[in-house]
Structure 1
Amino acid sequence: MTKYLISFPSGAMHVSDAELPAVSEAAHEVVREAKVAGVWVFGGGIDERVAPVLVSEDGTFSPGTYPQTNQIEGGYSILELPTYADAVDWAAKIARACRCAQEVRAFQDDPES
């Protein structure tokens, strides 16, 4: 089976403060469904209050990111699924719950992970 990253950037989610509890519950319901189905690996949102750092091979670090990843934020789910079509189906469930489109990407197979 393949692991899929299903994600969205923070700016894609247009939900009022009043709607947030219902959206949160709907998203958690999809998480519970994925866990029961045995396809849930991991999920969460990037804590945007914590600034990213770039760590070198010698352990030194500096504020910031690679330029092309400057905008990584939002919500992420990793599911292990038999087909790409299944990933798209789960992404649709997450999109309905979060009220925004989801991006689907497949991880390359690595027998060590």
Structure 2
Amino acid sequence: MGYWLGIVFSCLDVLCVAVFCDAFLERKTRGLRFVVGALLCGVLSYIATIFVSHISEESPITLLKFAALITVYFVFASLFYLGKFWMRLLVVLLAYAIFTLLEFCV
């Protein structure tokens, strides 16, 4: 059950990042290529979360986990969205911060 819940949260996380990027940046690609990229981003974010959680079992929310997820989301944003480097980074950081706050509230 825990793995399925992790997969669902990773998919929601990627969906929120994609929707947030769509709101502030112009998308480079459409259709199936974007969907496959979003699914791959979800898989990579799940792997990053599991990998970092196993490294630091006593505290799963660490700076290393934050850095791993931000890296995955920034690569996703760089491949599929237009915009300057700093703008893409800012949008990804804001999306991650908002989703993290929502996750703690729910």
Could you say which TM-score interval applies, normalised by the shorter chain? Answer: 0.3 to 0.5
The normalised TM-score by structure 2 is 0.40
More helix per residue: 1 or 2? Answer: 2
Q: Which has the higher contact order (CA 8 A, sep 6+)?
A: 1
The normalised TM-score by structure 1 is 0.38
Highest CA radius of gyration, 1 or 2?
1
More strand per residue: 1 or 2? Answer: 1
